[in-house]
Amino acid sequence: MSGIRLFVGLGNPGEKYAATRHNAGFWWIDQVAAATNSKLAVDAKFFGFAGKLSPTADSWLIKPTTFMNASGKAVAALANYYKISPAEILVIHDELDLPAGSIKMKFGGGHGGHNGLRDIHSALGTADYWRLRVGIGHPGSKNEVVNFVLKAPTKDEQHVIDDSIYDSCKLVDLMLKGEFDSAMLKLHTKK
């Protein structure tokens, strides 16, 4: 099985959204970029901040600048350009159905109402790609979801989310090698 060649962090561009729960995918990409000295720059043809994952020559990081609902545009543009198959893509996104500080990895499945995933499904024509689900917790009421994801986490939530992102970023080497069972075992048996 081939490893991940494209890491996609979901979020909304701009200062207004930088600290909001919906940007957990951006935070993950930022952490990996910092840890690997990878440089991201605006790339108009890929509709986002994109860059090679150092020191690997064949893997990419991207933070789409299309806003969440049009994330698929960036994913499809980069994947098509570099001939990256959906099974070689990992999408990192906020997950309401997991408690803050919990991270789970899975292959395929539905979009669970997540607009970024919905658009990626549509752009790729398949749901058969990897996801890294960063738990942000749930507000308790469906009516509160939009307001909740577009607000910053509490200080305690931010702390556990940051810790889980830091820990999961250490598994990038396993993901690059396609050792998903090992990565998931480490991720899902944490603490």
6-188: CATH, from 3.40.50.1470, 3.40.50.10540, 3.40.50.12780, 3.30.43.10: 3.40.50.1470
pLDDT, residue 189, reads 82
Local confidence band at 22 (pLDDT 50, 70, 90 cut-offs): very high
pLDDT digits (tens, 9 = 90+) for 93-121: 999 999 999 999 999 998 888 899 999 99
Longest dimension (CA), the chain: 45
Query: Does pLDDT of 191 surpass 80?
Result: no
Q: Give the active site residue among 22, 93, 114, 121.
A: 22
In the prediction, which pLDDT does 190 show?
Answer: 59
CA distance 124 to 145: 26
Q: What is the mean pLDDT of residues 177-186?
A: 92
pLDDT in tens, 37-80: 999 999 999 999 999 998 766 899 999 999 999 999 999 999 99
Residue-wise DSSP of 35-104:
HHT---EEEGGGTEEEEE-TT-SS-EEEEESS-GGGHHHHHHHHHHHTT--GGGEEEEEEETTS-TT-EE
At residue 112, the pLDDT reads 86
Cis peptide before 55 (omega within 30 of 0): yes
**Which strands, in side-by-side order, build the sheet including 41-43?**
41-43, 48-52, 60-64, 6-9, 89-95, 130-135, 103-107
Query: Is 22 part of the annotated catalytic residue set?
Result: yes
Report the pLDDT averaged over residues 140-144. 90
Q: pTM of the entire structure?
A: 0.95
pLDDT given at position 1: 59
**Binding-site annotation, residues:** 17, 67, 69, 115
Q: Annotated binding site for tRNA: which residue ranges?
A: 17, 67, 69, 115
Report whether pLDDT(123) > 90.
Answer: yes
List pLDDT tens digits, range 159-169. 999 999 999 99
